[in-house]
Amino acid sequence: MISKKMNQRWIAWVLMAVLFAGTTMMVSASNGTQQIDVTYRDISIVVDGKTIPSDVEPFIYENRVFVPIRFIAEALGKDVAWDNENNRVIIGVPPAEETSSSPSVEEAGVAAVGDWLEVTADSTTFVAVTSKGAILSSKDGRKWTQTYDGTGKSLRAVAPGEGLWAAVGDDGTVLLSPDGYTWSSASLGKDINLKAIAYGNGLWVAVGENGAVFSSKDGKTWSEQDSGVSKNLWSLAYGLDSFVAVGDDGLILTSPDGSTWSLRDSPVSSGLRKVSFGLFSGYGFFLAVGNDGTILTSTDAVNWVKKDSGTTSTLLTGIVTRDLLVAAGANGTLLFSDGGKRWGQGGSLPNLRWTGLAHNDSGWVAVGTSGALWISQDGKKWQPVRTGVDLFALGFSGGQWIAVGDSGLILSSEDGVVWNTHRINPVSSALLGAGPGSSPSTTATATVSTVNSAAAFLRGLAYGQGRWIAVGSEGTVVTSDDGLVWQARTSNTTAFLRGIAFGLDNYGQDKFVAVGDEGTVLTSNSGIEWSSCSSGTTAGLRAVAYGNGRFVAVGNSGTVIVSTDGTKWSKTSLKESPNLRAVTYGGNLWVTAGEKGAIFTSPDASNWTAVSSGTDADILSLYHSDGRFLAAGRNGVLLTSKDGTHWEALTSGTTLELTALAWGNGKWIAVGDSGQVLLSGDGQSWK
C-alpha cells in the first residue's frame, strides 16, 4: 500500500470505472487537502475489448477503483472540460441550465467581436472595448457580458467618470453608459479617429490623430480644442489637477482644463503609447510606456524620468496601483516594479500582443489580441480565462472562409480578419424528410432528433456541390448555399457527429460522408437527405477525409476504416492504438494523428508507419496544401512537414488549443479555443 497526499480537487478528476457511453456527466468538487492512503495493483484499463495504456495509474481507495476521468471519457468519445467558476468537471454536453438570456462572451464569440484593445475598471466594474466596436463588461473579470454589439468601427479606449462611462474610437465614435452595461451613441461632430479619453474635474477630454483634442462637460456636446501639435496622441490620463496626453516621438502635453495645453520636455524620442495615473506608495504617480521598451515616470506631470525596462519590445499598456506598477505589450512582455525604480520581467503571459490592463479590488485583468484574457490576484502571477466560443472546424471555398464551433456559432470572413456571425434556422415541419423533387408535405418516417441546432456543438465542416455542410452534437446537420444563411436538416440519428468529408464514390457520384460516436457513419449525395450505414466498428470516429479515390475515417483506440464508396467499409490496423483525432491526404500520402503527438503515414491507407512528431501534445487537426502538411493541437502546438515524415515545430504565439487548419486565397488560418484565429502567409510565421 502506498500513501499519498492528494488534493480533493484532484480526486474530482478521477472516477470509478462505471462510465457508460452515451451519458452526460458532471462532477463537483470542493476546496481542501486531505491525507489518504491508496493502493496500486497494476490495474489495467480495457476499452472495447482492448487494453489501453494510461499515463496516470489507476488506484484503489476505500474499496473503490479510481481511473483518470479524461482518459476514460475520451476513450468513450466524450469531451471533457473543467468549469473553473463552478468547480465542476463536465463530460459531454454542458447542462441546459447553463444557457443565459443575456449574450455572454461564450455565446457571442471573441472571433466575432474582434481583438481586445483596451480594458478599464472602476471600483465595481471592468469594461473592455474591441476592434469591431463591441463592448464587454464584467463584475469580477471572469464572467463577461457583451453589452454593445458593435459599430463595426474600432473602439480604442473607455473610461469611467462621475456616474457615466464613455468609450471612443474611429471616425469620431463616442458611446455613453450610466453603468458600463447600457450604451447609447453621442456625436463628436467630426470624423476623427479618437485614441483615448479621460475624465477629471468635471470634464471629459478625448484625444486622437493629428493632435486632435475635444472636451465636453456631459459627454454629449463636444468642443474642439487646439493642442498646438499635429502628431498623433495615443493616450490620456488625469491626475494632480492635470490632463496628461502622450503620443508620437515622445510627445508629452499637459493641461489644467482640457483647452490650454503645454508641451513638456521628454527624455525620449520614441513613441509613447500609454499613460496612467494612480496613487503609488501614498503619492500621486504617472506612468508612461511606449516603443522600444520605453518607461517614463513622473510625480508632478511636468518632470519625467526614464527608467531601464530591460526590454526593447513595444509596451502598449501600463497601470499604477498602491503598491505595484505593471506594464505589458508586444511579444508577451510583462514587467513589474514594486519600488518604481527597478523593473523585473514577468513570465506568465503568452507570446501575444497585450493591449490593456485594469485593476480593482476584484483583482487584475489583462487583454490582448486573439481574444486573450488573463486575470491575476497580485499582478505578477497570471492565469487565462476562457472567453469566446471554441471553434472546431474551418474551411475555405469561393473566396470565403467559414468557421464553426460551440453554441451553434458559424462565422464567415472574406479575409480571415473581419468575421461575421451567422445563426441556424431550425428544422421546420415542411422540411422534415423533404429533398430535391419531394413535396413539402412529405413526412419523415425515421426517428428525428429534436435537438436545437442553433445551440449545437458543431465539430465538422465540408464543402461540395456549391454547398457548405456542418455537423455536430445529437446528429446535427446544417447546410448553406452561400455561407450566410444556414438551414438545419434531419440526419435520422442522435449520435454526436464529429467529422465530414466530400468526395466521389467508385461510380463517380458526389458523396458526403459524416462520422461520429459509436462508429456512426452517414452518407448523402446532396447534404440534404442522409442514410446510415454500417462502419464495422463501435469505436468513436473523430475525423474523415477523402483522397485518391477513397474515404478514410479514424477514431479512438487506433481505429482506421476505409471505403471507396462511403457505404462499405473495411478496417485496417495500426501497430499502436492511440486515440486518433485527425486525418488528411496530400502528396500521394495519407497522414493521421492524435493523442500524445502520434503521427502515422501510409501510401494506401492500409499499411501504416509511425513517424516522430517531436511533441507529446495531442494533435487535433491536419491539413495538406501549398506543398506542405500542417498539424495543430493542444498547448498551441503547430507542426509543419514537406513530406509527412519529417516534422518541424513552429511558433504559434499561443498556449490555447488549436483545433482546425485550412489554406485558401494565399494564406493559412488556424482556429481554436476561445474563438482564437491565427493567420500565416507562408505556413511558417503566424500571428
- How high is the pLDDT of residue 397? 95
**Amino acid sitting at position 281:** S
pTM greater than 0.75: no
Q: Could you give the residue ranges of the DSSP H alpha helices within 41-138?
A: 69-75, 105-108, 110-113
Whether the CB-CB separation of 636 and 655 falls below 8 Å is answered with: yes
Could you tell me which residues are beta bridge partners of residue 327? 318, 335
28 confidence band (pLDDT: 50, 70, 90): very low
pLDDT over 90, % of the chain: 61
- Residue 214 grid cell: 475635444
pLDDT at 20 over 60: no
Domain boundaries of the chain, sorted by first residue: 2-96, 115-384, 391-434+455-680
CATH number of the domain at 391-434+455-680, please? 2.130.10.10
Q: What three-state secondary structure class fits 622? A: strand
> Is CATH 3.40.605.10 what the domain over 115-384 is classified as, yes or no?
no
Q: Which of 559, 343, 658, 543 is nearest to 551 (CA)?
A: 543
Mean pLDDT of 121-144: 89
Alpha-carbon distance of 132 to 118, in angstroms, equals 12
Q: What three-state secondary structure class fits 635? A: helix
Q: For residue 517, what are the CA distances in angstroms to 75, 405, 452, 453, 541?
A: 11, 18, 19, 18, 6
pLDDT digits (tens, 9 = 90+) for 148-186: 866 678 899 999 999 999 999 999 999 999 999 999 999
Torsion angle (degrees, nearest 10) of CA 353, 358, 361, 364: 0
- Choose from 17-26, 251-260, 277-286 the range with maximum mean pLDDT: 251-260
pLDDT over 70, % of the chain: 81
pLDDT digits (tens, 9 = 90+) for 563-617: 999 999 999 988 888 999 999 999 999 999 999 999 999 999 999 999 999 999 9
- How high is the pLDDT of residue 143? 80
pLDDT at 442 over 80: no
Q: Which of 393, 390, 552 is nearest to 461 (CA)?
A: 393
**Cβ atoms within 10 A of the Cβ of 218, count?**
13
Residue whose C-alpha cell is 503598491: 323
- How high is the pLDDT of residue 71? 64
- How high is the pLDDT of residue 96? 39
Could you tell me which residues are beta bridge partners of residue 296? 288, 306
In terms of Cβ atoms closer than 10 Å to its own Cβ (0-12, 13-18, 19+), residue 444 is middle
- Residue 336 grid cell: 513589474
pLDDT digits (tens, 9 = 90+) for 666-684: 999 999 987 788 999 999 9
- How high is the pLDDT of residue 30? 42
